[in-house]
Amino acid sequence: MPFPYSKSLKKFAFLSVFVALCITLGVGFAPEPSAMASTVSSAAPNQGRVILRGRSDVPKIAFTFDDGPHPINTPKILAILRQYHVPATFFTEGRYVQQYPWFVKQELAAGHIVGNHTWDHPELPTLSPQQQTQEIASTSAMMRQMTGVTPPFLRPPYGELDEPVKQEIVANHLSTVLWDIDPRDWSCPGIESIINTVLSNAHHGAIVLMHDGGGDRSQTVAALPEIIQGLRQRGYTLVTISPLLR
């Protein structure tokens, strides 16, 4: 009668030789999933992900600006980002891309990422599938028409998602970007409040939600330089969404 574990031992011996050979030849192995696996899908490279934050092991933070472009706020924010050499991610509405395409072109020319924030900021889960498609696809199409660039990311208005919306986003070849620091600058809580909320909640891989459209953003504009300097003093590097994930 054969030894009952002979097949297992042979398999183990084969695997041992294989591993040793790979190490000798310098062949790498895929690492175990990191802590970010719970918030970032393994879909390659980004498509289908629902991104709440970036990697927790590197001191990087991403600024994101929603609801633009805006003829007053956007150029002021772009000037500050240029002054401090800070890249950012802008989530734009299709109707404003159509109206102010030159600001989107300036964002792209400066090295910022421009994403899709739907055509006119509806609550996506309340729409029919056809309306969801129209909101998302028409914005991406307008960006391509005006800039030649297809947005890689989408931020759903109000952060509202359900399974049909997620499927629609994936069908449009986009990844979803949410956030985990919200100074509620849209409510004009005061310059110091915006600054303190961002700085006191800063952490590795954070995504900061701010706005360059949707109303008076003078408080956001005034708070931005101090936020930038405060984060850098704490050792953070400011990046767009893409390098936040690497």
Query: Which entry of 70, 112, 121, 211 is annotated as an active-site residue?
Result: 211
Output the pLDDT for position 143: 97
Residue type, 226: E
Q: What is the value of pTM for the model shown?
A: 0.81
Query: Which entry of 57, 66, 162, 182 is annotated as an active-site residue?
Result: 66
Reduce the secondary structure of 110-174 to three states and give it as a string.
CCCEEEECCCCCCCHHHCCHHHHHHHHHHHHHHHHHHHCCCCCEECCHHHCCCHHHHHHHHHCCC
- Whether 57 sits among the annotated catalytic residues: the reply is no
Residues in the chain, pLDDT under 70:
1-47
- Whether 216 sits among the annotated catalytic residues: the reply is no
Output the pLDDT for position 6: 39
Ordered by where they begin, the domains of the chain are 46-244 (3.20.20.370)
Output the pLDDT for position 49: 84
Element at 209 (helix H, strand E) = strand 206-211
